[in-house]
Amino acid sequence: MKSDPTLTPKAVSVRTSATVLLQTIGPEEAGQRLDNYLLRWAKGVPKSHVYRIIRSGEVRVNKKRAEPTTRLVEGDVVRLPPVRIAEPAQMAAVNTAQTKSRAKTYSEKMPILFEDDALLIVDKPTGLAVHGGSGIALGVIETLRITRPELKFLELVHRLDRDTSGVLLLAKKRSALVELHRQIREGQTDKRYYLLAHGEISQGNSVMQLKFPLHKYLLANGERRVRVDPDGLPSHTALRVSKSFQREGTAITLAEAQLKTGRTHQIRVHLQKLGHAILGDDKYGFEDQDKLIKSKRLYLHAHLAGFTHPRTGEKMRIESPLPFEFEAMMKAFDQPEKTTKEKSPTEDATKR
């Protein structure tokens, strides 16, 4: 799904706050980082400017300088300097009839897997970014804010790459967002992905523990990339092979990856390092092999999210079925003569 240039927001009128503002943090704002708070307050202001006014000391918390990562607490007083902010009414004007129509179309292709008064969990399609950005007017969050205007608060709990499909959690309450972020930080969530990789991955009955340190960097054009680097941050993926498929001397493997850490592009880089890049990966994959087997998408799907409900304390297990593109690709290959002896959760995937 390519971005539609006609949907890129036009320049909107702005107002200049001529005086310093003092904002007291309430219960709904508490728990979030200072930079995220400012980015929501200063709609239409470049991120670079927001970070500049924090680092310069123009923004203060309880009369003291603060870092972008400072966690706000209820009752904190935030000093906001004069800054040019887009008028809410004019920001709303960006939602033209065409944009609303596109948002409705996106929403119809994004099934709701679970919803209550605290959470909204959707099945994100491949090709749809989780939020808008350069050249992208509509992501998941913008789509849902347009199509669900009754939701006064809606924020992403985590992210998925644009071309990754599957389970995506959003919070409808600030308290739910803060609690789920705590669970993620403390490793109390379970996130698992199905993937199709190039080649036959030999594993046996064990689970492969991939622990490659990752370093994030930028290309000359500003695009993010990640590589394995001894000085990088620790990362850990548990990989469980399900089946391999053969066709005319070419093999692919269906596997399940369980995230133990959540680094940018972690699974994709780990599989590349293993020598079995994910099918359709335009950043870390095998372009020639993708052309040979006609990969049409990134074959990475977030199929399961396990966590504790932030309000009820109930153990939640939200699942998304294997996408039809996976089914079609596996059917295009012959069934293997051998499968792994230990039955894994992915062995039933091709029967769905």
b/e for 305-331, b at 16 or more Cβ within 10 A? bbbebbeeeeebebebebbebbeebbe
Residue 350 carries which DSSP code? Answer: G
Look at residue 287 and give its three-state secondary structure: helix
Domain limits for position 29: 19-86
Pair 44, 159 in one domain: no
pLDDT, the chain, mean: 85
Pair 81, 230 in one domain: no
Q: What's the Rg (C-alpha) of the chain? A: 22
pTM over 0.75: no
CA angle 42, 124, 97 (to 5 degrees): 60
Pair 52, 111 in one domain: no
For position 308, which CATH number holds? Answer: 3.30.2350.10
- Is residue 334 in some structural domain? yes
Of 178, 205, 231, the domain-final residue: 178
Q: Is the separation of the CB atoms in 60 and 38 below 8 Å?
A: no
- Give the separation between CA 175 and CA 157, rounded to whole angstroms: 12
- Is residue 3 in some structural domain? no
Pair 252, 142 in one domain: no
- Is residue 2 in some structural domain? no
pLDDT digits (tens, 9 = 90+) for 140-184: 999 999 999 999 899 999 999 999 999 999 999 989 999 999 999
The pLDDT confidence band at residue 346, using thresholds 50, 70 and 90, is very low
Pair 106, 164 in one domain: yes
Of 178, 213, 242, the domain-final residue: 178
Pair 126, 66 in one domain: no
Question: What pLDDT is attached to residue 95?
Answer: 56
Q: Is the separation of the CB atoms in 285 and 222 below 8 Å?
A: no
Angle separating helix axes 140-147 and 97-108, nearest 10 degrees: 110
CA atoms within 13 A on the CB side of 186: 9
The pLDDT confidence band at residue 132, using thresholds 50, 70 and 90, is confident
Pair 74, 31 in one domain: yes
Of 154, 178, 202, the domain-final residue: 178
> Tokens 């990754």, residue?
164
What is the sign of the dihedral through the CA atoms of 124, 128, 131 and 137? negative
Pair 208, 321 in one domain: yes
Lowest mean pLDDT among 221-225, 278-282, 309-313: 221-225
Closest CA to 137 of 4, 13, 2: 4
Residue 5 pLDDT exceeds 60: no
- Is residue 71 in some structural domain? yes
Question: What pLDDT is attached to residue 138?
Answer: 86
Pair 59, 98 in one domain: no
- Is residue 10 in some structural domain? no
Residue 10 pLDDT exceeds 60: no
Pair 240, 339 in one domain: yes
Residue of 48 and 241 predicted with greater confidence: 241
- Is residue 208 in some structural domain? yes
Of the listed 161, 163, 281, 290, which one is catalytic?
Answer: 161
Pair 201, 281 in one domain: yes
Total domains in the chain come to: 3
- Give the separation between CA 25 and CA 36, rounded to whole angstroms: 13
Residue 105 pLDDT exceeds 80: yes
| β-pair partners for 1 | none
Look at residue 144 and give its three-state secondary structure: helix
161 catalytically annotated? yes
Question: What pLDDT is attached to residue 335?
Answer: 53
Question: What pLDDT is attached to residue 67?
Answer: 92
Question: What pLDDT is attached to residue 248?
Answer: 87
CA angle 82, 85, 91 (to 5 degrees): 170
- Is residue 345 in some structural domain? yes
Pair 161, 208 in one domain: no
- Is residue 37 in some structural domain? yes
Q: Is the separation of the CB atoms in 253 and 241 below 8 Å?
A: yes
